[in-house]
Structure 1
Amino acid sequence: MTIKLSAQSLTALPDTVAKPRYTLADLSAGIVHFGVGNFHRAHQAVYLDDLFNLGADHDWGIVGAGVRDADAQMKAILGRQDYLSTIVEQEAGGTGVRVTAPMVDFLEPGDAGAIIAKLADPAIRIVSLTITEGGYYLDAAGAFTQTHPDIVADAANPEAPKTVFGLILAGLKARRDAGVAPFTVMCCDNIPHNGKVTMNAIAGLADLIDADLAAWVRSSVAFPNGMVDRITPATSDRERKMVAEEYGIEDGWPVFCETFKQWVLEDNFPAGRPVLEKVGVTFVDDVSPWELMKIRILNGGHAAIAYPAALMDIHFVHEAMEHPLIAAYLEKLTRDEIIPVVPPVPDTDLDDYRRLIAERFANPKIGDTIQRLCLDGSNRQPKFILPSVEDRLKAGASVTGLALVSAFWARYCYGVTDSGAKIAPNDPNWDRLQKAAIVAKDDPEAYLQMKDIFGAAGENPAYVKAFTHALKTVWDIGARETLTRYIQNTL
């Protein structure tokens, strides 16, 4: 028999489930968070839950917000269980289960008036975001795209914005007009210089509306950069069933994740912040070294193994790491081409970090899927792979392995695996990508014509040659034999 998760049923949960040592009544709102997905609930919300369990900073409760249909679905499900979440932390050696309760409310997605009013509330001192790498309207060079129809629409109707950035800007304007100090905007997405990217988006939108407001945003609002890390798969019926059968909890949207978590933040919070250093957050003056290390080695590593594994019909990430060709490919690529263009990180051995990442990928308990890693390549390749390519091209170094990563991606976007199994659309730009991939089967350079993705690399003769050869090879002999040749230095 299962117990429906709610504040009232907490005491009835099994003793094996860790429970909050505070109640919803103990908390008041201090943070509005856009994008209440699995990663947020496994990361930022868990750190705050840890802090609240210490009896500290109960005025930093989270209010959820969003603009998508998925946000409305999350609000409905979490609302039925008093905004509680079951977090299942898994390692090969054991599993820990906890219920977290740092969220105090969830604003109605699409209700711009209510969201702006909450943002204008002086009690809100931080606005945070996890809206995925593709949510920032960036071009291949990482610049904010002011001409995107969503942004143009918000600029034309700033009182009733539809985007996250329009809502945040409206909230900031309301505070400025009322003489209330601005909140800090804290990005929690995997983007290089994520605070700066977020500032460029909000100030870039403001440029289209009011030059004085844009100047005020740039001079008066804090946007600390941060590095976030915790492998967190998507939730399916599999996870819901496991939580019900193994722990007796009926949770509409439980979160499974690894035990490891890391958060490095620039300490730039003029409106105040919770004392998160008490629960393991590292505060630094400049997060860039940690950020670059993680994005290129972990996120780049995910992109590297995803597409050959998909072409080889592998379902789970740990199964991919059990395959000797994929494990060897990841190790060689990271050591030979990625780590050499990652700057030193304080108190960190990059090869030790590489080994840690490989161990985390191999965790058999997580249930992370290759399909999830393949998602949204059109946004992830320019952020996680191509910057390493550009650095190596500038140094005159080989890009054989990195070009192969993108060649595997192009082959994946053709839409069938090496065995002939169909690949379901897995990118917001899937139609465009598949069209280019079909042409690229016979003319690989055609794929590089997507300049918003490949940027300058797509016009560099050394990269064009490496990519062309890699994609032709993948088509000629398949993923397995291509990996073998790369590992043996015969590609």
Structure 2
Amino acid sequence: MENTKKRPEWLHFGTGNLFRVYPAALCQNLLNKGEMDTGLVCGDCYDFELIDKLFRPHDNLTVGVTLKADGSISKEIIGSVMQAEKCSNEFPEDWAILVKAFRNPSLKMVSFTITEKGYAIYNTDGTLLDSIRDDLKNLPMKAHTFLGRLVILLLERFNAGKLPIALVSFDNSPHNGEKLQKAVLKIAQTWQIKKLIPKEFIDYLTDSSKVAFPWTMIDKITPRPNEKIAELLKKDGYEDAALIITRKGTYCSTFVNSEEVQYLVIEDQFPNGRPPLEKAGVYFTDRETVNKVEKMKGCTCLNPLHTALAISGCLLGYKLIYDEMKDNDLRKMIEILGYKEGLPVVVDPKIINPKKFLDEVLTKRFTNPFMPDTPQRIATDTSQKLSIRFGETVKAYLANPELDVKSLEIVPLVLALWCRYLLAIDDEGKSFELSSDPFLGEVCMILEGIKFGSPKEEFEPKLETLLSNEKIFGFNVSESPIAEKVKSYFEIMISGKGKVREAIAQACRK
């Protein structure tokens, strides 16, 4: 604790389940090996109840529960978090600790698990988010968004002597470092134009020898804490395994359950040095390789398969991804999506073999009976994922003269499945709750009025309007060579009960 207070090396923002069971566990691994002698300072920037209900009452400890494919589980105490604070100047004591850490020359890395939405500064129409616009109107010290407060903390580091630092996003988003950099610079440059901060600060932020924004690829499935796991812990004498849902809808507990498999690939760009994370299994490489690994995972070998299972699972009434893998139609669907449609356009990153990675996904990860992951969780924010998980594959086919985009069956099927999902009626004709998504109101309104048996002349114009949204799909689906397949599968799926299943089976037979 004292070492961390005197010379912090690693500060992390985002105190949710992924952080507690992965980055914090990596730090614990290095502490156990004697490779580090300082722990983590972490700051919550969204849901302060986590600090009050999880961290402080339990001395910042977490029980990490690893759910293995062979049916066994392992447990470890993760105690690497030394200080957990609320990232807001509304809490002066917490804020002072974060400022002190940022002003310390010892600080090497600031990492983030704030979700992909945490880097957003613009609405879908290109206008600034109201919260960001309000921050830019006010004095920097009155910033109330996390990104605004992050810029203030970086200004503190600049004022302490232009100290170097790496800002490292661990969020599951392509080019995550670039997204963080653009958000930080937009806020800082706007304040600088208004002469609220010095121009030299912008020079500091744009000097990669001072401030770096490495790209990363992270991969670890971390479902919400599960009641069955809580019961197993109680049988082992663990007293406080109650599940907590905060007022902001965060699902958490004093334990975190996650899969055994994990990958973290980081661009090796750290102007002030870094913790020796390679000794805990992290890959360090160049930006191009990080990008290839991210594309392998995000565009072909994992994320598209997860989304396909999520959407179809919601429509077919499934509650667990694991159970979907016992459904022959669904399993065949993602096998075709991965092996037949995905692998032909994957770029081999060399450090991880794409075929072996895909084999592991299908035989060890999705089939893990102890992984309580749900289609409903994975379906969250799907509108923000389609352009990467499917749009990039279509564009890769279009760009390669040796590949026939019209040979794709599962990609257009999944796009049709998502449109069908937006009707919020399952394959038995029963209504269900759609998972949260920032564009849900917008996209559902477009398809409003479509129901079982709607004639083509009624639904097609609405469907084409949605499919023409390039921001969602990454390309204009309605003007693409797969447009007719998407519309055809959608037409089948709204023709009556049981037709979602029929469309999936049909696509898998072709």
Task: State if a TM-score over 0.5 links the two structures.
Answer: yes
1:231-271 Cα distance to aligned partner (Å, 9 max, x none): 11012444433322345242443100111111111111111
Aligned-partner SS, 1:208: helix
The within-5 A match list for 1:290-309 is 290-296=293-299, 297-309=301-313
User: Judging changes above 3 Å, is the alpha-carbon distance between structure 1 residues 205 and 146 closer, same or farther for their aligned structure 2 residues?
Assistant: farther
User: Aligned pair 1:438/2:448, yes or no?
Assistant: yes
Q: Which amino acid aligns with 1:100?
A: I
Partners of 1:139 and 1:453 within 8 A in 2: no
Contact in 2 for aligned 1:146/1:152 (Cα 8 Å)? no
List alignment gaps of at least 5 residues for structure 1.
1-23
Q: Does 1:231 align with 2:231?
A: no
Q: Provide the rounded CA distance (Å) in 2 between the counterparts of 1:354 and 1:270.
A: 35
Task: Give 1:381-420 correspondences, 5 Å limit.
Answer: 381-395=386-400, 397-398=405-406, 399-420=408-429
Cα distance, 1:170 vs structure 2: 1.1
Distance 1:140 1:364 in 2: 39
Match of 1:467 in 2: 486
Q: Distance in 2 between matches of 1:354 and 1:138?
A: 34
- With 123-132 and 204-213 compared, the bigger mean Cα shift is at 204-213
Residue 135, structure 1, aligned to residue 118, structure 2: yes
Q: Structure 1 residues 403, 367: closer, same or farther in 2, change over 3 A? A: same
Instruction: Quickly say closer, same or farther: Cα 1:167–1:205, change in 2 above 3 A.
Output: same
Q: 2:59 matched to 1:82?
A: yes
Match of 1:350? 354
Worse overlay, 101-110 or 301-310: 101-110
Distance in 2 between the 1:258 and 1:119 partners? 32
Whether the 8 Å contact between 2:314 and 2:376 is mirrored in structure 1 is: yes
1:52-81 alpha-carbon deviations (Å, 9 max, x no partner): 11122122x22221332x343354322110
Quickly say closer, same or farther: Cα 1:119–1:434, change in 2 above 3 A: farther
Instruction: Return the alpha-carbon distance in structure 2 between the equivalents of residues 455 and 139 of structure 1.
Output: 17
| 1:335–1:247 distance in 2 versus 1, CA, 3 Å | farther
Structure 1 residue aligned with 2:36, among 57, 67, 75? 57
The whole-number CA distance in structure 2 between the counterparts of 1:474 and 1:120 is 54
Q: Percent identity?
A: 25
Contact 2:311–2:379 (CA<8 Å) still a contact in 1? yes
Q: What is residue 14 of structure 1 aligned with on the other side?
A: none
Within a 5 Å distance, the mapping from 1:94-243 to structure 2 comes to 94-111=72-89, 114-115=94-95, 117-118=99-100, 120-122=102-104, 123-137=106-120, 147-157=128-138, 158-210=140-192, 212=199, 213-219=201-207, 220-243=210-233
Residues 96, 279 of structure 1: alpha-carbon distance in 2 compared, 3 angstrom cutoff: same
The code of the aligned residue for 1:111 comes to N
TM-score for the superposition, normalised by structure 1? 0.87
Post-superposition CA distance 1:267-324 (Å, at most 9, x none): 1111121111111111112311212111122112111111111111011111011111
Which residue does the alignment assign to 2:432? 423
1:264 is matched with which residue?
265
- In 2 relative to 1, CA 466–159 (structure 1 residues): closer, same or farther, beyond 3 Å? farther
Residue 478 of structure 1: CA displacement?
Answer: 2.1
C-alpha deviation, 1:412, in angstroms:
1.5
What is the CA distance between 1:403 and its match in structure 2? 2.2
How big is each residue's C-alpha offset from its partner over 1:439-483, in whole Å with a ceiling of 9 and x where there is no partner? 566232132254431343345332433322222222236221111
Which amino acid in the other structure matches residue 65 of structure 1? G
In structure 2, the gaps of 5 or more residues are: 194-198, 242-252, 452-458
Query: Post-superposition shift, 1:118?
Result: 4.1
Q: 1:95 to 1:44 in 2, by over 3 A?
A: same
Contact 1:47 1:276 in 2 (8 A): yes
In the alignment, the residues of structure 1 paired with residue 145 and residue 347 of structure 2 have an alpha-carbon distance, to the nearest angstrom, of 35
Deviation at 1:333, TM superposition (A): 1.0
Distance 1:310 1:138, change over 3 A: farther
Provide the C-alpha distance between the structure 1 equivalents of 2:335 and 2:202, rounded to a whole number of angstroms: 45
C-alpha distance in 2 between matches for 1:145 and 1:51: 43
TM-score by length of 2: 0.84
Cα 1:469–1:343, aligned 2, differ >3 Å: closer, same or farther? same
CA distance in 2, matches of 1:318, 1:151: 40
